[in-house]
Structure 1
């Protein structure tokens, strides 16, 4: 089974209007509410690929119920730890300029944290766990080291979608996949990365530090998969960019789901590229039909 861990999920409240006038009453043209959080996005895209997963993490209050109701309506299993405080709301204003106001999230008690640890401790070597996104403020991202180590002790594999020090710390646990973009990769090593040979060189350093596979996403410039055996470049696919939110999560879902399903790293990469690209060209997470349409356009070459 694939598990997705979202420590600080959210309702993503999307508000659309022509412009924001500070200090005045603003009336929106339209709005949407989505179940948000990187791990939750992974579960939702996996479902579009007909791959089962179980979503876990912390959930609370009426906002948390909105999220679990959405997941249930999409046929996604959940095993969340109920917490005393409400799940956060993130407001994303799409106007003449995009503005985000992200909630801090609930405070997690020691007993609530222990509840999640019990879920992870019950996993087996047949499981793969996707850890992604930020942690509630009172826990801090350092908590991931403890949770990932606990998970690996069961024999389960892990996928880690983090930035910066959190990503570096995860490498000690030999994740199946890490997926920084080229800017995040450059920040890790204190360099600016724009050329493919340099990006490949530094991606290989992540392999040397423990990662089993590395995908470097490069927005409109394609994507790079680096394995111990070879490197592969996926050509960029042309289309109208509508949505950057969830594109990386979609790529993680496509790669992880198909790797668990087929064991074929290259095929998993193609599906990862298809899922990420399809979401980029969609208003929300991409539909199953659109992912399959984009998959037919994916071109990968061995470097």
Structure 2
């Protein structure tokens, strides 16, 4: 089974306006409400690809109830831990060609809540995948993902980590199955500015040497690179109009896991991952399976070495 952890979910409230006038009453033209959070996005994409998963993490209050009901209505399995505070709301204002985000802070997570999560994840085994995804909220230790990995990788769980900075580096000693920085995040890790494919590969290989089994580095419209112990591969990006700045990276992870969990090799799963990430970027919400299938023939994989 695939499990996704979202430590700080949100309700993403998206509003669209022709103009935004500060200090005045503004009326929206369209609005949408979606469950937010990187792990939740992965579970929703897997569900769209007809692959089951279980979404867990922390939810609270009426917003938490709304998120859980929304996911269940879509068909996503959930096993959230209820906390005393309220799940946050993120407001995304789309006006003309600009998008402004106002993100909430989220509830405080205490040790009792954390221990409930640890107890769930300690039951996973070598047949399971675990996605640890998103920035760590301020009320938790920045090495929380490493702490989680210390409790479950001893059982052979294949862990995917999608975060940045020290929170990511701390997990490498537990040898995650996959990490997924983009080229800018990769540069930030090593305090360098990356300007070429060769530099992407050089610094990506350093992260593999530090412990990650596989690494995907996304290069936006230039495609993405997969680095494994057996080889390095590049995927071309499909062509399309970007409509959605949220969830493409999460969709890439969902697309890869959808195939790899079914026994498909990592390189072909990487091709699916690229198509899935692009399908979300070209959609208003997270991608649907038919659009992924439409884009898949455009994705070409070449072995660099």
The RMSD of aligned alpha carbons is 1.1
Provide the aligned length of Structure 1 versus Structure 2: 303
The match for 2:286 is 285
Deviations along 1:38-89, whole A, 9 cap, x unmatched? Answer: 0000001111221111010001111011111111111111111111111110
Map of 2:25 onto structure 1? 25
**Counterpart-to-counterpart distance in 2, 1:196 and 1:75:** 40
Say whether residues 1:95 and 2:99 are aligned partners: no
State the match for 1:275 in structure 2.
276
Give the Cα separation in 1 of the matches to 2:116 and 2:40: 19
* Distance in 2, Cα, partners of 1:176 & 1:244: 26
Normalised TM-score (structure 2): 0.97
Q: Note if contact 1:106-1:136 (Cα within 8 Å) is conserved in structure 2.
A: no
Q: Aligned residue for 1:210?
A: 211
Q: Residue 121 of structure 2: SS of its match in structure 1?
A: helix
What is the match of residue 108 of structure 2? 107
Contact 2:237 2:274 in 1 (8 A): no
Map 1:245-284 to 2 at 5 A.
Answer: 245-284=246-285
Give the Cα separation in 2 of the matches to 1:149 and 1:168.
14
TM alignment of 1:29-178, pairs within 5 A: 29-96=29-96, 97-178=98-179
Deviates more, 1:204-213 or 1:250-259: 250-259
Aligned mates of 2:109, 2:167 — CA distance in 1? 19
Structure 1: 5+ residue stretches without partners:
none
Q: Could you tell me which residue of structure 1 aligns to residue 190 of structure 2?
A: 189
Which ranges of 4 or more aligned residues in structure 1 deviate by more than 4 Å?
A: none
Point out where structure 2 has 5 or more consecutive residues left out of the alignment.
Answer: none
* 1:19 Cα offset (Å): 2.2
- Asked whether the 8 Å contact 1:108–1:136 carries over to 2, the reply is no
Q: Report Cα offsets for 1:179-227 as digits up to 9, x if no partner.
A: 0000110111111112111111111011000011110001111111111
